[in-house]
Amino acid sequence: MSNIKDIAAKAGVSIATVSRALRQPNLVKEKTALKIRDAIEALDYKPNMLAASLRRQKADAVIIAVPSIHNPFTSAFVQGVENVARENGTKVLLALTEGRQDLLDRHYEMIAGKQADGLILLDVISPSALAGQTPGDDPLPIVLACEYDSAVDQPRVRVNDLEAAAEIAAHVASLGHRQIAILSGPSAQRMSRDRQRGFRLGLRRAGIEEDDALVVGGDYSLRSGVAGANALLDSGRKFTAILCENDEMALGAIHAIAARGLRVPDDISVTGIDNLRFAEFANPGLTTIALPNEQIGEEAMRLMLDFAIDPDGARREVVVPHRLIVRGSTAAPTPRM
C-alpha cells in the first residue's frame, strides 16, 4: 500500500505539497498538481483516513443509535441522516442498542475514542455519560430524535405527538364514533404518554367522555396489537373504534379483528400513527398519521452539524409537521338495530 511519501518521491515534491494538493488544491501550482495527480494515479494511492483523522482530531463520522432497525420508521430516519451527512462528507455509523444501556454506552465510547464526532439518538435510553453531566461541563455532541426522554436537555428534533394524536382522535370522532378504545404504548415513555394524552384531548374536544376501561396497554409490537384488540373484544365492552398509538399495533389489531370474523371498518374502525409503508397496503388500508421520518433524520443531522460549528449556540429544538392520512380502516359506525 502506497502512502503520501511514495507519492511525494514519485512526483519529486515534498509530502507537504502532496497533502496540500489533496486538501487545498488552490494553494499549489497547476503544473505541480498535475505531477502529483499522475503519481497518485500510477501508484493507486488512497489516503489513510485513520492517520488524517488522528492528525486533524476529527473523524468526519457520526453514530446513529437505534434500538433496532426492524422498525420501518427507523429506516426512513436513517435514510434522512444519510442524505445530509453525505452532502457534508460525513460518514454514518449505525449502532443497534436493543434498548440495552451497556450496548449504547459501548457505542458511545467511539466518540471518546475519536472514531466518531457525535451521536444521534433515536431511543428512549441515553448514554450514561449524559446522566453524569453537570451544568458547568462542556456540552456533549448528542442529538435526540423523537423518542428521547424529556429529562435530558440536548438538541432535539421531534414531532408534536400530542396534537398528532388529538387530530386522528378528532377524525374518528367526526365520523360519529362515541365508544372509542385506545391501544397505548409503554406509559414509561414520554412519546407514549404524549400520544395517549393527545387521544384523550381529541376526544374531550369532541365532547366524548373518556372511559379508562377502554384503554389497553401494549408495547408497540404487532403482537401486542393482536393481544390488545383481543383483550378489548373479550372484555364485553362496547366500542366501535380503536385508536392505536402506532401502526404496528394497528395492523395487529386489524388482524385480530378479522380473525374473529368481524370486519374493519364496518364493525370496528382502526387507526395507527407512523404511516409505515405496509399501512397503505394493509386490508383495509390503514388510516394513520404520517410522520416525515426522513425529514426528521435530516433535521437531526443538521442539528449535529450545527453543534460541530458552535456547541453552545446550536439550535435546541426542531419540530417537524405531521399529516392525517385517511384510508379504508375508518368509516362511520354502522347503526346497530
Q: How many helices (H) and strands (E) does the chain have?
A: 13, 12
Residue 223: burial class (beta carbons within 10 Å; 0-12, 13-18, 19+): middle
Q: Is 22 in the site for DNA (CB under 7 A)?
A: yes
In this chain, which of 10, 20, 107, 302 binds DNA, going by CB under 7 A? Answer: 20
- The candidate with the shortest Cα–Cα distance to 89, out of 41, 27, 23, 144, is 23
Q: Is 82 in the site for its own copies (CB under 8 A)?
A: yes
Q: Is 39 in the site for DNA (CB under 7 A)?
A: no
Give min distance, CB of 50 to DNA, in A: 7
In this chain, which of 16, 34, 54, 319 binds its own copies, going by CB under 8 A? Answer: 54
Q: Is 42 in the site for its own copies (CB under 8 A)?
A: no
- Start-end of H helices in the chain: 4-11, 15-23, 30-43, 49-56, 72-87, 101-112, 128-131, 161-174, 190-205, 222-234, 247-259, 277-280, 293-309
Give min distance, CB of 31 to its own copies, in A: 27
Q: Is 138 in the site for DNA (CB under 7 A)?
A: no
# residues near its own copies by CB under 8 A: 49
Q: Is 19 in the site for DNA (CB under 7 A)?
A: yes
Q: Is 34 in the site for DNA (CB under 7 A)?
A: no
320 with 165: CB under 8 angstroms?
no
Contacting residues for 238 by C-beta, under 8 A, at least 6 apart: 179
Q: Is 32 in the site for DNA (CB under 7 A)?
A: yes
Give min distance, CB of 115 to DNA, in A: 12
**How many other β-carbons are positioned within 10 Å of the β-carbon of residue 188?**
9
**Cis bond leading into 67, ω under 30°?**
no
Q: Inter-axis angle of helices 222-234 and 247-259, to 10 degrees?
A: 50
Alpha-carbon separation of residue 23 from 89, 90, 94, 117 (angstroms): 13, 16, 28, 20
In this chain, which of 160, 193, 255, 290 binds its own copies, going by CB under 8 A? Answer: 255
Q: Is 229 in the site for its own copies (CB under 8 A)?
A: no
Residues 98 to 137: which contact its own copies by CB under 8 A?
A: 103, 109-110, 112-115
| Largest pairwise CA distance in the chain | 94
The grid coordinates of residue 258 equal: 378479522
The grid coordinates of residue 54 equal: 488522528
Give min distance, CB of 40 to its own copies, in A: 12
In this chain, which of 41, 44, 57, 212 binds DNA, going by CB under 7 A? Answer: 57
Q: Is 27 in the site for DNA (CB under 7 A)?
A: yes
Q: Is 14 in the site for DNA (CB under 7 A)?
A: yes
- The residues that touch DNA, with contacts defined as CB under 7 A, are 1, 3-5, 12-17, 19-20, 22-23, 27-29, 31-32, 45-48, 51-52, 54-57
- List interacting residues with its own copies (CB under 8 A): 1, 46-51, 53-54, 59, 68-70, 72, 74-76, 78-79, 82, 86, 91-94, 96, 103, 109-110, 112-115, 222, 225-226, 251-252, 254-255, 258, 277-278, 280-285
